[in-house]
Amino acid sequence: MNLIIDVGNSFVKLAVFQGDTLKFKKSVELETILDEIKELKQNFPIKRAIVSSVGKLNAYDAEQIAKHFRVLVLNSETNLPFTNLYQTPKTLGVDRIALVSGAAGQFPNEDVLIIDAGTCITYDFINSENEYLGGAISPGVRMRYEALNNLTANLPLLDTEQPKHIIGGSTQQSIHSGVVHGILNEIDGAVQAYRLKYPDLTVILTGGDTNFLSKQLKSSIFANPNFLLEGLNYILQFNSNE
Region 214-233 average pLDDT: 93
- Global pTM reads 0.92
Pairing mode of beta strands 70-73, 83-84? unpaired
The 3-state secondary structure of 73-100 reads ECCCCCCCCCEECCCCHHHCCHHHHHHH
Q: Which residues pair with 124 in a beta bridge?
A: 114, 135
Q: What is the pLDDT of residue 241?
A: 61
- Distance spanning both ends of the chain, measured CA to CA: 12
pLDDT exceeds 90 at position 62:
no
Query: Kindly report the CA angle at 139 between 135 and 140, in degrees rounded to 5?
Result: 105
pLDDT value for 172: 97
188 annotated ligand-binding residue: no
Is 116 assigned to a binding site?
A: yes
Q: Is 93 annotated to bind ligand?
A: yes
Within a 10 A sphere around the Cβ of 74, how many other Cβ atoms?
Answer: 23
171 is in an annotated binding site: yes
Q: What gap in Å lies between CA 7 and CA 29, rounded to an integer?
A: 10
**pLDDT band at residue 54 under the 50/70/90 scheme:** confident
Share of the chain above pLDDT 70, in %: 98
* Same fold? 2-73, 83-226: yes
Q: Which CATH superfamily is domain 83-226 in?
A: ATPase, nucleotide binding domain (3.30.420.40)
Candidate list 61, 95, 111, 209, residue with the active-site label:
95
Kindly tell me if the per-residue pLDDT of 9 is higher than 60: yes
Q: Is 95 a catalytic residue?
A: yes
pLDDT tier at 61, thresholds 50, 70, 90 = confident
Whether residue 78 is annotated as binding a ligand: the answer is no
- Tens digit of each residue's pLDDT (9 = 90 or more) over 109-151: 999 999 999 999 999 999 999 999 999 999 999 999 999 999 9
* pLDDT at residue 242 is higher than 60: no
Domain layout of the chain by residue ranges: 2-73, 83-226
pLDDT of amino acid 1: 94
> In this predicted structure, what is the pLDDT of residue 158?
97
Beta-ladder partners of 6? 13, 52
pLDDT score recorded for residue 112: 98
Report the CATH fold assignment for 2-73. Answer: Nucleotidyltransferase; domain 5 (3.30.420)
Give the pLDDT confidence of 71-112 residue by residue, as tens digits: 999 998 999 999 999 999 999 999 999 999 999 999 999 999
Strands 11-18 and 222-223: unpaired
